Structures are given as structure tokens and as C-alpha cells.
């Protein structure tokens, strides 16, 4: 993991829709090698007092790597040729190389799991959608379109790959937990806590949740992303050991208020 700051530039900008939400994919120039689940700390030069933010890494490119930005982030306002600063990749991937995980998300947080799909690291994708408007449960073609999984990416994914949609969180949890191997989650805080409540203690080590708290430095310096350590230590630095953490390490009573909501509106 690189801690030093790299001066770079944006090579391309592409609008992308994921689960009905608008994002932009930015190709960043540089020697960037990463695993799905890692991110770049990136600061734009468009604002004099711009703060660095974490941006999920999506795919390796010929001249660098691409990251994803939502409409609220500084990077979304940038264009091809703009200069930026980055350090990373940061964080740790929760994926196992010898076992494909099950992914579970609600539409507002699905973008955080998109890197696993582009890398072909997924056996099954479960979407929790209370509105029931995502796609028809048995229509895999509309599901792929809604989730923006092109044919070139589908070929990387396991031949047994499927997408399922549930209107109920408990149903989503039951479907995910009956599968062998790891489960990787991207949920709003209240839904994440409810999912944890329905997860047996014996499985919590293998269920990883994206921790949506503030990450201001990415190098374990500011301590702003720390979670309480159940063993009584100084704390758990999410920026380095996360951003996906096993449910067994998360104390929702103590840390739940530090988790940020994902905007549900399209």
C-alpha cells in the first residue's frame, strides 16, 4: 500500500448508471495495482480547500485504474485532463481467491459492490429493495441491465452466477446466510444492524460489511475512522483494515451513530 502522494491526472470520464443511480467512472493515470474492495484516497485540484475522499477502485486499465464517484463528491465535477492527487491503494479486500463470495446490497449502496462484479468475484448477488421496483425476480436480462453488468463482465463471473431481488431484509439475510463461504454487504446502517441481528454468532466472522464512517486520511493517522475494539484495545482503524469489516468486529450500539446513510432517492 502506497502512503505517499502521487500527482496525477484524469484520463477519461464516463457517466454510468448503477441500480438506477447516477455516477461517473474516472480513469486515473498511474501505476495502480489493487484488489476489489480497496480504494484510492483522492483529492481534486478544482477547489482550493478540497478534502481528500475515498473512491472505490473499479478496474485496472492500460494506463492506470478507474474509480467511481457519486454526484455528491468533488471528483464528480471534474473532467478529462484535470489534475488530481492520490495515495493508495488503501484498505484490504474481503474476497478470497479460492472461493467466490455472495454479495448483498440495497440499490443505494450497490455501487460499493460493483468492483467485485467487474473482477468476476461473485457467485450470487442479492438485492434488497423495499420498493420492489428494481427488476422482475425471474428476469435476469433486466437485472443485468439495471445493475449495469455488460456481457464482457458477465463472462468473467461464475457460470452459476445469478441475481435475486427481495422486498424484505430478513429474506435477504436468510438467502445470503444459507450459502457457503463469505458474504459481502453494502447496506444502510439500520439495515446493516438488522442483518447482523439475524446472523448467528458463528457466521459473523465470514460476513463483511462496508463501514460507511468518515475516512479523512487513509493512512491510520487522523484516527477518525476508528471503531471500538471489543477486546479493549485502542480501536480498529477502518481505513487500513477495512473498509469491509466482519460483523464480529462491529459494535452497532457504540459505533452505529458514526455510520453514514446512503441516499436512497434516485
**Is 2.40.30.10 the CATH number for 6-90?**
yes
> Is residue 98 helix, strand or coil?
coil
Structure confidence by residue, pLDDT tens digits, 74-113: 999 999 999 999 998 999 999 998 899 999 999 999 999 9
Compute φ and ψ for 92, nearest 5 degrees: -130, 135
Structure confidence by residue, pLDDT tens digits, 11-48: 999 999 999 899 999 999 999 999 999 999 999 987 65
Q: What 3 state SS string does 105-160 have?
A: ECHHHHHHCHHHHHCCCCCEEEEECCCCCCCCCCCHHHHHHHCCCCHHHHCCCCCC
Residues of the chain within CATH 2.40.30.10 domain(s) are: 6-90
pLDDT value at 266 more than 60: no
pTM: 0.92
> Is residue 95 helix, strand or coil?
coil
Tell me which residue of 131, 141, 70 sits closest to 106, measured CA to CA: 131
Structure confidence by residue, pLDDT tens digits, 138-175: 667 777 888 888 666 666 676 678 888 898 899 999 99
pLDDT value at 137 more than 60: no
Q: How many CB atoms lie within 10 A of CB 228?
A: 17
Residues of the chain within CATH 3.40.309 domain(s) are: 102-258
Higher pLDDT, 115 or 136: 115
Sheet of 183-186: strand order equals: 162-166, 124-128, 102-105, 183-186, 207-210, 244-246
Best CATH choice for the domain 102-258 from the list 3.40.309, 1.20.1260, 2.60.40, 3.10.20: 3.40.309
Percentage of the chain with pLDDT > 70? 88
Contacts of 97 (CB under 8 A, 6+ apart): none
Amino acid at each position: 500500500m502506497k502512503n505517499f502522494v502521487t500527482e496525477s491526472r484524469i484520463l477519461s470520464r464516463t457517466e454510468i448508471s448503477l441500480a438506477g443511480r447516477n455516477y461517473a467512472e474516472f480513469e486515473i493515470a498511474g501505476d495502480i495495482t489493487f484488489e476489489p474492495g480497496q480504494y484510492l484516497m483522492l483529492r481534486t485540484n478544482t477547489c482550493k480547500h478540497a478534502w481528500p475522499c475515498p473512491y472505490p477502485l473499479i478496474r485496472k486499465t492500460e494506463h492506470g485504474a478507474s474509480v467511481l464517484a457519486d454526484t455528491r463528491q468533488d471528483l464528480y465535477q471534474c473532467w478529462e485532463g484535470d489534475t488530481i492527487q492520490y495515495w493508495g491503494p488503501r484498505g484490504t479486500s474481503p474476497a478470497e481467491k479460492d472461493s467466490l463470495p455472495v454479495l448483498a446490497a440495497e440499490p443505494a449502496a450497490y455501487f460499493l459492490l460493483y468492483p467485485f462484479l467487474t473482477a468476476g468475484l461473485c457467485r450470487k448477488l442479492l438485492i434488497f429493495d423495499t420498493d420492489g421496483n428494481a427488476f422482475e425476480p425471474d428476469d435476469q436480462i433486466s437485472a443485468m441491465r439495471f445493475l449495469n453488468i455488460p456481457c464482457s463482465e458477465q463472462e468473467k463471473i461464475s457460470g452459476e452466477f445469478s441475481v435475486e431481488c427481495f422486498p424484505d431484509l430478513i429474506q435477504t439475510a436468510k438467502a445470503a446466510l444459507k450459502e457457503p463461504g463469505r458474504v459481502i454487504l453494502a447496506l444502510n446502517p439500520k439495515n446493516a444492524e438488522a442483518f447482523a441481528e439475524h446472523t448467528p454468532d458463528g457466521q459473523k466472522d465470514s460476513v463483511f460489511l462496508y463501514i460507511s464512517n468518515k475516512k479523512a486520511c487513509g493512512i491510520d493517522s487522523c484516527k477518525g475512522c476508528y471503531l471500538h475494539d471489543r477486546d479493549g484495545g485502542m480501536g480498529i482503524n477502518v481505513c487500513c483494515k477495512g473498509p469491509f469489516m466482519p460483523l464480529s468486529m462491529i459494535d452497532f450500539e457504540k459505533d452505529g451513530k458514526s455510520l453514514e446513510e446512503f441516499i436512497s432517492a434516485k
